[in-house]
Structure 1
Amino acid sequence: MVITTAGSFAAALSGIILMYMWFAPKISCSLNITFITATLILIQLMTSISLHSKVNAGLMTSGLMAIYMVFLCWSAIMSEPLSMSCNTRPRQTGKGDWMTIASFVIAVTAIVIATMTTGTDSECFTFRKKEKTKSEDDVPYGYGFFHFVFAMGAMYFAMLFVGWNLHQTMHKWSIDVGWSSVWVKISSEWIAAAVYIWTMIGPFILRNRDFS
């Protein structure tokens, strides 16, 4: 566990440093600097909260979240149009590079896992659970909700291929490229950080609510 935690923070810090070197080589790259700095601040905030004596959430989860946030920030900046001059890392336009392939594999894996786990656990979204007798023929999930989640996952994956913009022309070996993709990923990073922080401080703000 200690090795995993240390490795997570080391990987996240290395990613931050590389992003500053590759994507923010000059002061005029203010947008990239803002994205990277915001990611660093959020990681520091999450780590500080997790180490608070009242929270005591540990560092392992924060370290894994740090890697996830750095990846989202990295992916968002890599989704910027090729015309951006702040990206000093050469991009391959004739064939797919490792970042494109890795993003594709991670996206497929994440969508499949999310749709499978969420689609088969429809009861977690039920506000008022009704007690009813279960028979042997009952399935542990709702058909409608299961297919709805899978449809949402399929539509999300389709949007990756068009860069979240139907009026944008996608080039060969370019997946999820464009300003729409950039802001979707950055927003996802910030929302993920906000949700994680809320899971740590929520029980202390809403003391009368059961978070178990």
Structure 2
Amino acid sequence: MGACLALCSVASCASCLCGSAPCILCGCCPSSNNSTITRLVFSFFLLLGTMVSVIMILPGMETQLRKIPGFCQGGTSIPGIENQVNCDVILGYKSVYRMCFAMTCFFFLFFAIMIGVRSSKDLRASIQNGFWFFKFLILIGITVGAFFIPDGTFHTVWFYFGVIGSFIFIIIQLTLLIDFAHSWNKMWLENAENSNNKCWFAGLMSFTVLHYALAIAAVVLFYVYYTQPDDCTEHKVFISLNLIFCVIISIISILPKIQEVQPHSGLLQASVISLYTMYVTWSAMTNNPNQKCNPSLLSLVANISTSPPTDSSSGVVQLWDAQSIVGLIIFLFCTLYASIRSSSNTQVNKLMQTEEGHGTAGEDGVQRAVDNEEDRVTYSYSFFHLHLCLASLYIMMTLTNWYQPDTKTQSMGSSMPAVWVKISSSWLGLGLFLWTLIAPLLFPNRDFS
């Protein structure tokens, strides 16, 4: 899609700045629906803000900017030029908080505007699917304003907003993974049945075994490195409970009664959810302030100190670690999947407030970017923006490793609230997956096809 957009002429793109989503595509692009293009562009805004946040928090960026004469306050200067920029604000965790605050406000604004839109005939639908240049200006304006917010208690208050929003987003993210796992299993089973090719069954089995093998290996490593014989009781409880819960959902997914009402239910979905649950468990344990129970990945490999390195002069924390990188990868996958998904799973569609939609071909028989929402929208505009709003908060917490700001010392550190938020979200997510399995059994008169 990106290469296709690059091939379009500048004049053509300029004419579309105030137009609708179909105008973004040129003739060389693959056919797509208006609703899909809109979601992709909004997701691009989110990814753009994420990239800016990543650049701002990269280790060494502040040191390099302070070398520029007259740029940073308190840095090197040349006669006649005053330091104008506070590099403590535009870099490090403070910049991430402000950038994500701006993205959250931007998407919350559209969430409020789009409440109750039922079809593309609504005047607000034209705002949703067009005026991209002005939307970009609005995002830039909010971002610039965010960097003028005084420190004060902003970071502490916004941290708790991030914790709550990230908790909800983890549940949405798990819903998307459940949808992906169900769709994956259904598609490969249908391919195997229609083609009589055993390779599809072999592929399903291979991925299922791989997911379970990784999950079991993770459990073993957790017990070895994140527990102590006389300490780390919370970690022992977290690991044991989630292991038991994963075994339970795996058994339930293949029970004959469940198979009768859910023919496409199987171990593949349970293995995906089990592996993700172990990731969330690991992510939670890495936020335990008890360093004896929370060795860093570097310390396990190279016997390096487990305390998070900080720059005492600026409070900038070197926040890059393995679980943050994995979290970003999962986030990128789920964001892209949420933008292009068209699920046939009724339960997940109700949870995500979407429905399966299809475009129609043009007069020349070629399907282009078409308005497939004249009768009814294929996804909830407001819920989609709420999802991106929560995603902005999740990005903020992930990039700062869920560390809690300390306004007195101007530094950050691990905290137990982040641990409990992640663990409770894993339990709620497991319950959500269990519901998708047993709901058709408990309510046989309802349509769960």
Please give the TM-score of this superposition, normalised by the length of structure 2: 0.39
Residue equivalent to 2:339: 116
Query: C-alpha offsets along residues 132-181 of structure 1, whole Å, 9 cap, x if unaligned?
Result: xxx7784755554443332232233334438385667654xx8xx42222
Partner of 1:153: 391
Aligned to 1:58: 266
In the alignment, which residue of structure 1 is the partner of 2:447? 210
Pairs within 5 Å for 1:163-202 = 163=402, 171=412, 177-202=414-439
Q: Cα deviation per residue 1:25-79 (whole Å; 9 max; x = unaligned)? A: 2143210000000111011101110121111322111111110111110111012
Partner of 2:250: 47
Counterparts in 2 of 1:4-83, with a 5 A limit?
A: 4-56=207-259, 57-81=265-289, 83=290
What amino acid maps onto 1:148 in structure 2?
Answer: L
Partner Cα separation in structure 2 for residue 61 and residue 123 of structure 1:
17
> Between Structure 1 and Structure 2, how many residues are aligned?
197
Distance change in 2, residues 1:63/1:115 (3 Å): closer
Aligned mates of 2:324, 2:441 — CA distance in 1: 41
Task: State whether residues 115 and 153 of structure 1, in contact with CA within 8 Å, keep that contact through their aligned partners in structure 2.
Answer: no
Amino acid at match of 2:233: S
Q: Which whole-Å CA distance do the structure 2 matches of 1:62 and 1:194 have between them?
A: 12
Q: 1:122 to 1:147 in 2, by over 3 A?
A: farther
2:447 counterpart SS class: coil
Hey, what does 1:125 align to over in structure 2?
A: 353
Which amino acid in 1 is paired with 2:440?
Answer: P
Matched to 1:42, the amino acid is: F
Unaligned runs of 5+ in 1: 127-134
2:291–2:307: 8 Å Cα contact kept in structure 1? no
Code of the residue aligned with 2:219 in structure 1: it is I
Equivalent pair of 1:76/1:183 in contact (CA under 8 Å): yes
Quote the Cα distance in structure 2 between the aligned partners of 1:107 and 1:170.
26
For 2:402, give the aligned amino acid.
G
Distance change >3 Å, CA 170–CA 36, structure 1 → 2: farther
Q: Partner residue of 1:130?
A: none
Q: Distance in 1 between matches of 2:248 and 2:210?
A: 19
What displacement does 1:207 show?
A: 1.7
| Whole-Å separation in 2 of the counterparts to 1:53 and 1:125 | 30
Asked which structure has the greater CA Rg, the reply is 2
- Equivalents in 1 of 2:350, 2:445: separation in Å? 25
CA RMSD of aligned residues (A): 3.2
Q: What is the SS of the residue equivalent to 1:38?
A: helix
Q: Please, which runs of 5 or more residues in structure 2 have no aligned partner? A: 1-203, 260-264, 300-305, 310-317, 342-348, 355-370
The code of the aligned residue for 2:432 comes to V
Q: Rate the CA distance shift 1:164–1:55 in 2: closer, same or farther, 3 A.
A: farther
- Give the equivalent residue in structure 1 for 2:308: 93
Give, in angstroms, the shift of residue 104 of structure 1.
3.2
Shift in alpha-carbon separation, 1:206–1:27, aligned structure 2, 3 A? farther
What is the CA–CA distance in structure 2 between the aligned matches of 1:43 and 1:137, rounded to whole Å?
40
Amino acid corresponding to residue 392 of structure 2 in structure 1: A
> 1:206: how far off?
1.5
Alpha carbons of 1:27 and 1:140: their partners in 2 closer, same or farther (altered >3 Å)? same
Distance in 2, Cα, partners of 1:44 & 1:72: 16
With 29-38 and 136-145 compared, the bigger mean Cα shift is at 136-145
Paired residues of 1:164 and 1:180 also in contact (CA < 8 A): no
Is this contact kept in 2: 1:24–1:32, CA < 8 A? yes
